[in-house]
Amino acid sequence: MEPASLRPRDTSGDPADLASIVLGHAYGGDDDGGGVRRWHAPEHVPLDTDRGASIALDARSALVLALVVAVIVGGVAWATTTWRSAGDTAAPAAATTTTGDSSAATVADTTTTAPADATPALAPGTDLAIGRIVPARGASGAGIVAVGISNRGSVASTARQGATVLVLVDGEVAASDAVPAIEPGESTRVTVALDTCPTGTVSITAVVDPGAVVKESDERNNATSRQASFGC
């Protein structure tokens, strides 16, 4: 079955339209006048990435889209999905509705329930992202930085790829360390040891894969900064 057109629907500037930061592309919805927003998904939902690649989610995956929307919009506890078939009841097209008081997700006349905090779909490819960075004074007296790193993609990263995590203090390179393999949807923590222990409140920046040795679906979440003290 051929994927639907790659042209997105008109989102009319609504920031809630399928949260493009999660899905990579927004598909439009409309209000039925009663405060119920209907999200339309074609038989296959094409999602474009920054690299020009695209994937097609099958119709049943539209339920995941509804749950993601519920999380992003906020205040929506459940998602209700009504499936309609266009000649193929096994793989119907979907018209998804999210409401504040819905309590079930209905798929092909089978009623199940699914909380709106279900795990969002993973990005295509590998997607390394920086999480929390926690500075401290190590046992040797030098500073250390614990850096959280997650793989938000659907493809594992490997140690053989040679990715590193770089730590900068007040804009100056302080230290780096290797990043281990991370499975899709998993996270790890790398503790980077500095040669000295910076005093006072400083700006700490952590960058994963600064050499871009890992091909990623999103390079924009590879760094984060914070103001903190090492306690030296």
Domain boundaries, the chain: 20-112, 128-229
User: Residue 218, Cβ neighbours under 10 Å: how many?
Assistant: 20
Q: Please give the CATH topology (third level) of the domain spanning 128-229.
A: Immunoglobulin-like (2.60.40)
DSSP letter at 36 equals -
CA dist., res. 131 & res. 13, Å (int): 29
pTM of the model: 0.49
- State the pLDDT at residue 17: 40
Buried b (16+ CB within 10 A) or exposed e, 75-114: ebebbbbebeeeeeeebbbbebbbbeebeebbbeeeeeeb
Do residues 134 and 92 make contact, with C-beta atoms less than 8 angstroms apart? no
Do residues 126 and 217 make contact, with C-beta atoms less than 8 angstroms apart? yes
Give, for all 232 residues of the chain, the pLDDT tens digit. 433 333 343 434 443 443 333 333 333 444 445 444 444 444 443 444 343 333 344 444 544 444 444 444 443 333 333 333 344 333 333 433 434 444 443 333 433 444 555 556 788 899 999 999 999 999 999 999 999 999 999 999 999 999 999 999 999 999 999 999 999 999 999 999 999 999 999 999 999 999 999 999 999 999 999 999 999 8
Residues near 182 by beta carbon (within 8 Å), at least 6 away in sequence = 128, 149, 150, 151, 156, 157, 188
- State the pLDDT at residue 123: 80
Structure tokens at 104: 């079930």
